[in-house]
Amino acid sequence: MSGEVRYERLGSAAVLTIDRPERRNAIDAASAAALRRGFDEFEADDGARALVLTGAGGEAFCAGADLKAIDLDVDDPAGPLGFTRLTPSKPAIAAIDGWCLAGGLELALWCDLRIGTRTSSFGFFERRWGVPLVDGGTQRLPRIVGLGRAMDLILTGRPVDAEEALRIGLLNETVDPGQHLRRALELAERIAAFPQETMLADRRAAIEGSGLPLSEGLALEHRLGRETLHVAVEGAARFAAGEGRGGQGV
């Protein structure tokens, strides 16, 4: 792994850290390649049940493409920032502190969940330089916050503070400064504790069904749900035996 991107296992989570604080964790070709290698390592690691994506230094999660390098491959099938045109087979959580801008915001949108500190800030600041969104931002943001709010952020490039980001659904949760990684790891462990086969099937149905007509989405849910009914039978038996009463384990 490149020194500019660190991959480590912490419990059930694989933590992928963009480590270019002197560039506000902006991504050049070398760090994009390292992000892709980290993605591949996560996918191959059966013990890593969730990916936590974060940035080093505290000033920024990621400021997007390194505009001083201008060496990213826009035509890379996996995405200019390493893996933004790929879908992970397991949950991903963005742990955000400081600036989350441009392609960095697109990286955060790539994740299933986003935890941000109360001092974090968001925006497509590349709007002022004429740089396009090519890492999924135009497709994922409307799915997360709705088309109207997405168009506001895409067209104006204005800054969004953590309070607004939480209110519109861009963030799932806010935490005190410095607590973003700890909270993301807590969520990763909680997710890892559930029966994985059913949880992953439900996740897949939600992701793949979001762009389908309702009837097709329901059919997908039905098909994936039937494939995991044996897990449900086992879980129902545990519940009947007294496990999990009163919401324990949730």
Residues acting as catalytic residues: 106, 126
Given its phi and psi angles, is residue 11 left (phi above 0), alpha (psi -120 to 50 degrees) or beta? left
Q: Quote the distance between the C-alpha of residue 234 and its chain's center.
A: 31
Q: How far is CA 22 from CA 33, 125, 204, in A?
A: 19, 19, 37
Q: Which run of H or of E encompasses 226?
A: helix 214-226
Q: Which of 143, 159, 142, 160 is nearest to 151 (CA)?
A: 142
Q: Of 180, 35, 165, 26, nearest to 109 (Cα)?
A: 165
Instruction: For residue 88, report the phi and psi dihedrals to the nearest 5 degrees.
Output: -70, 150
Place of tokens 């397991």: 90
Closest by CA position to 134, among listed 76, 209, 212, 55: 76
Contacts of 38 (CB under 8 A, 6+ apart): 1, 5, 7, 14, 16, 82
**Euclidean distance between CA atoms 85 and 72, whole angstroms:** 14
Q: What is the crossing angle of helices 214-226 and 196-209, to 10°?
A: 170
